[in-house]
Amino acid sequence: MSVKNTPFYQQHIALGAKMAPFAGYNMPISYSGINDEHLTVRKTAGVFDVSHMGEFILKGPDALDLIQRVTSNDASKLVKGKVQYSCIPNDKGGIVDDLLVYCVEDNNVYMLVVNASNIEKDWNWIQEQNTKGVEMHNISDKTCLLAVQGPQATRILQPLTEMDLLNLAYYTFVKGTFAGVENVLISATGYTGAGGVEIYFEDVNDNASKIWNAIFDLGTSQGLKPIGLGARDTLRLEMGFCLYGNDIDDTTSPLEAGLGWITKFTKAFTNSTALSQQKAEGVKRKLVGLEMIDKGIPRHGYEIKNEGGVVIGVVTSGTQSPSLGKAIGMGYVATELATVDSTIYIQVRDKQLKAKVVKVPFN
């Protein structure tokens, strides 16, 4: 299977990005280094090319009904200009994907933003449930997406548009002209915890170069930098945000993953009866934050043990936090060991290193 390039591939190469295949795309992993890029986003602002993400348009009078049946959150609460975080449960207790639901037109037009590695899987899953003929369009290949994240992001970008970015509320969006390009959708959903916006637009008429150049022509002198997926991972982990394929997948329940807040039992959705029963009975394992006490880094797949050396869970994500200067991670442990400040041990090669359970976001 050939690896695709995003419309910004040449810009990444020109900037000397370290590239690697990710979810079927050549993606920039880092430019100046993960630590530098991470701190740039926390302190100023950075630009992520996330055009590999998937976007579906669902249209028609039954679009909301379909979304309600396939997602766990209550999309009936959405009005035009609002966004919702949700997940697509499977019929075995796990998660097909986590996603964003955009209400483009009240009760009629929605955009679903899904993970790049799950585009085909999600499309097929939703299509299988589409029993009422909802109009579906996969616009992933023609949609560009830049995430401009950081405390200075909206201030830097505001001169490029008449849309009010400075006062854009969390989980809302606006549509209009940006950098001379029409029909641009700008939202504030964020995956870094540092503020900022996401910019969606169609890849026509050299729009990618126009918008990329306009952003950097204006922002470079103000400290704006391009940021790779390496720092995106460390930023989201500090916030305790889940990454599909690591912290959540087809085998993890949204309740185990701490996503009960997007699992609404006021409606029926795929596997909602079984998940409701799981909620009533209590989950047997939980996704928790981990902080190392001994020196070492918890990596994806490392075993979590109790003092006696018995395996009680597994690390799903881990890193040396650039902002906090300590090793952190997330992982699933038995519920009785999920209490904050519980002592646990991470098997790092031939050593059993001491750690503790902490709250997320990390601090």
- Say if residues 58 and 110 touch (Cβ distance below 8 Å): yes
The residue count of the chain comes to 363
pLDDT at 107: 92
Q: pLDDT grade, residue 17 (50/70/90)?
A: very high
- Say if residues 201 and 181 touch (Cβ distance below 8 Å): yes
Give percent of the chain with pLDDT exceeding 70.
Answer: 100
pLDDT at 1: 67
Place of tokens 């992520």: 48
| Per-residue pLDDT tens digits for 115-151 | 999 999 999 999 999 999 999 999 999 999 999 999 9
| Per-residue pLDDT tens digits for 56-103 | 999 999 999 999 999 999 999 999 999 999 999 999 999 999 999 999
Tell me the three state secondary structure of residue 129: helix
pLDDT at 89: 98
Q: How many CB atoms lie within 10 A of CB 92?
A: 11
Question: What b-and-e string marks burial along 262-281, b requiring 16 or more CB atoms within 10 Å of the CB?
Answer: bbbeeeebbbbeebeebeee
- Give the whole-angstrom CA distance, residue 191 versus residue 196: 9
Instruction: Supply the CATH classification number for the domain 4-50+141-238.
Output: 3.30.1360.120
* pLDDT surpassing 80 at residue 359: yes
Q: Where are the beta strands (DSSP E) in the chain?
A: 4-5, 18-22, 25-30, 46-49, 54-59, 83-89, 95-105, 109-114, 135-138, 143-149, 173-178, 181-187, 196-202, 225-227, 285-292, 303-305, 311-320, 327-334, 343-348, 351-358
* pLDDT surpassing 90 at residue 2: no
The single-letter DSSP state of residue 14 is H
Instruction: Supply the CATH classification number for the domain 284-358.
Output: 2.40.30.110
| Per-residue pLDDT tens digits for 244-272 | 999 999 999 999 999 999 999 999 999 99
Place of tokens 């918890």: 298
Give this prediction's pTM: 0.97
- Say if residues 311 and 305 touch (Cβ distance below 8 Å): yes
Cα separation values, 198 from 2, 170, 340, Å: 27, 11, 34
**Mean pLDDT throughout 240-246?**
98
Delimit the domains of the chain by residue range.
4-50+141-238, 284-358
- Give the whole-angstrom CA distance, residue 178 versus residue 201: 10
